[in-house]
Amino acid sequence: MTTTPTSRRPTMRIAIAAIVLPLIWLIVGAVFVAAWRSDLPDPIATHWGPRSMPDGFASVDQPLWMLLVIAALVIVAGIAITVTSSSSPIARSFVGLSSGLSAFLAALIVGLTAVQRGVADAAQVAFPGWVVPVAGVIAIGAGFLAAVVIPPWVGALASPASDSAEALPIGPTERVVWSSAVTSPLPIVLIAGLAAVATAAGAVLLGMWWMLTITAVLLVATATMLTVRVTVDRTGLQIRGTLGWPRARIAAADIATVGTTRVRALRDFGGFGYRMAVTGPLRGARGFILRSGEALVVTTRDGRTEVVVVDDAQSGAAVLEAVRLRDTNRTR
């Protein structure tokens, strides 16, 4: 189902997603922690070291104070997001991050508090490895929920600075296909691989097996973006990562403009992977950025912009512009 874009900025929905939803997670966490206060040892464990045993302790009231401080930060961040978000992609990204992080911290605090209920001495409570992945799953769900609250709106996304594509001459019945793949640079892959090995080694040496969750996330993230395949055919544009995700499919009828631009990965997108530009001429655009270089830029009729760095982007743009124009002529 496609959401019809609105021309009005949904300020109230942004505020709900950026402030109210994150606070709900923190309030729920505070209710649980407050209800368990009489069942907890004093002091409680607040930090775990090697072999997953506690090495830091604090007052039994500290979890509530932590949730209160997080709530105050959420309110400040939520107001900033509500006031400054200039496009629906940017707003969705920030509210998803805010709500997801709030839910993660709330779930983490609740989980670490729950395992200490009914225990006389918190020093005997080993770190519960299940807490981190469970909190992570809750965070993903909370972030997605907050993001879908915000509808797309037309006109909020600034038009990226790109060179308009010149259509490849094709006949009304002529079939044309263009496809190209881009691979992550070896140094980036090696850095990600070394980070995964380091976290796995840390998990084994320190006996902190929950760290293997981080290893798994790093490996999956690296695998998804080893290569990106870009295909243009009579139906439009398709971009897909190694494992089929992340992916983007834009029908020819939904394309407003096609162009190319020069992308500097760090300056324009803040790094490598599937990312969003939050500043500069490409602000609000989502990008498949495996390296710096020439990129294909496509803006849809509802204001969404996709950028993909790929070899010979000009040829791909020329074919896609031809497909777009032919589809437009057919529907007139």
Is the pLDDT score of 215 beyond 70?
yes
pLDDT score at 76: 93
Buried b (16+ CB within 10 A) or exposed e, 5-42: bbeebbeebbbbbbbebbbebbeebbeebeebeeebbe
Domain 163-184+225-331, what architecture? Roll (2.30)
Half-sphere exposure of 286 (CA within 13 A, CB side): 18
Whether the pLDDT of residue 64 is over 90: the answer is yes
* Per-residue confidence (pLDDT) for residue 158, from 0 to 100: 46
CA dist 111 and 129 (Å) reads 10
The residues near 116 (Cβ < 8 Å, ≥ 6 apart) are 40, 41, 44, 45, 122, 125
Residue range 286-300: mean pLDDT, rounded = 94
| Integer Cα distance of 101 and 54 in angstroms | 24
> Two tokens at 168?
């490849």
- Is this model's pTM higher than 0.85 or not? no
Q: In this structure, what token pair is assigned to residue 246?
A: 């992340």
Determine whether 2 is exposed, middle or buried from the number of CB atoms within 10 Å of its CB (0-12, 13-18, 19+): exposed
Residue 12 tokens read as 């109230």
Domains of the chain, residue spans: 11-149, 163-184+225-331
Q: Write down the pLDDT at residue 204.
A: 81
Highest-scoring range by mean pLDDT, 50-59, 86-95, 292-301 = 292-301
125-141 pLDDT, tens per residue? Answer: 999 988 988 999 999 99
Would strands 305-309 and 286-289 be described as parallel, antiparallel, or unpaired?
parallel
Q: How do strand 293-300 and strand 247-251 relate by DSSP bridges?
A: unpaired
Q: For the chain, give the mean pLDDT.
A: 88
Query: Is the alpha carbon torsion for 279, 283, 288, 291 positive or negative?
Result: negative
Cα gap 27→39, rounded to integer Å = 20
Closest CA relative to residue 60, chosen from 26, 95, 36, 25: 36
Position 282 scores a pLDDT of 87
Q: Cβ distance 180 to 316 under 8 Å? A: yes
Q: Are strands 255-263 and 247-251 parallel, antiparallel or unpaired?
A: unpaired
